[in-house]
């Protein structure tokens, strides 16, 4: 019997944490040493427990120098129904340090805008998201050098961010 009815599937152009294309890129493996999973497409900073080996979402005291990169969505991980979809706690994760990657900015962004990593005010609502302005309180952010927006997007829509993190 043929398929009947409306089976229209609307896929977005990409998904959060998806590498944007095959330009030169670099990935590093970091341990999520925190008690919670980290959503794909979020910016992470050096972990205070083991700065060389692990990464975490930023806190209000995080600086641009502690920025490691963006958590890459890994297609090889299995998830149980209802489990948080992101880099699991106490497990390794892939972090993009160089190259373009898809994220959802907190505010509208334009091509060539600067990139700010939201460190917030300790409330935990926006940590690890990105913006093009410094913000305040829960949206307080730090400027990420050598990063820019390469596509324009509305707040919460997918946008391509290009970054080069040294060190």
CATH code, domain carrying 81? 2.40.300
Residue 31 covered by a domain: yes
Q: What is the spatial distance between Cα 132 and Cα 5, in angstroms, rounded to a whole number? A: 43
| 8 Å CB contact between 57 and 123 | no
Cα separations in angstroms, 119 against 6, 12, 124: 43, 28, 9
For 36, residues 6+ apart whose C-beta sits below 8 A from its C-beta are 84, 89
Asked whether residue 9 is domain-assigned, the answer is: no
Angle of CA points 87, 165, 155, to nearest 5°: 65
Domain of residue 133 covers 26-160
Is 12 a member of any domain? Answer: no
18 is a domain residue: no
Count of structural domains, the chain: 1
pLDDT, one tens digit per residue, over 17-76 is 999 988 889 999 999 988 989 999 999 999 877 778 999 999 989 999 999 999 999 887
CA dihedral 20, 25, 28, 32 (to 10 degrees): -20
Instruction: Compute the residue count for the chain.
Output: 167
Task: Give the count of beta carbons closer than 10 Å to the beta carbon of residue 133.
Answer: 14
> What is the band of 155 on the pLDDT scale with cuts at 50, 70, 90?
very high
Residue 142: closest CA among 33, 71, 66, 55: 66
Structural domain includes residue 30: yes
**Is 20 part of a structural domain of the chain?**
no
Q: What is the mean pLDDT of residues 98-120?
A: 96
**pLDDT for 86:** 87
Task: Give the global pTM.
Answer: 0.89
Say what percent of the chain tops pLDDT 90.
Answer: 63
Does residue 41 sit within a domain? Answer: yes
* Domain-embedded: residue 94: yes
């Amino acid at each position: 019997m043929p398929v009947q009815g409306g089976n229209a599937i609307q896929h977005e152009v990409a998904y959060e944490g998806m590498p944007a294309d095959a330009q030169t890129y670099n990935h590093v493996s970091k341990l999520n040493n925190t008690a919670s999973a980290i959503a794909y497409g979020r910016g992470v900073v050096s972990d205070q427990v083991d700065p060389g080996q692990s990464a975490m979402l930023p806190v209000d005291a995080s600086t641009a120098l502690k920025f490691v990169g963006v958590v890459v969505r890994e297609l090889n991980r299995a998830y149980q129904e209802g489990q948080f979809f992101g880099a699991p706690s106490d497990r390794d994760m892939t972090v993009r340090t160089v190259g373009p990657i898809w994220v959802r900015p907190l505010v509208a962004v334009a091509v060539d805008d600067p990139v700010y990593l939201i460190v917030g005010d300790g409330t935990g609502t926006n940590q690890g998201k990105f913006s093009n302005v410094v913000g305040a309180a829960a949206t307080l952010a730090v400027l990420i050098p050598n990063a820019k927006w390469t596509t324009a997007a509305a707040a919460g829509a997918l946008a391509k961010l290009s970054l080069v993190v040294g060190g």
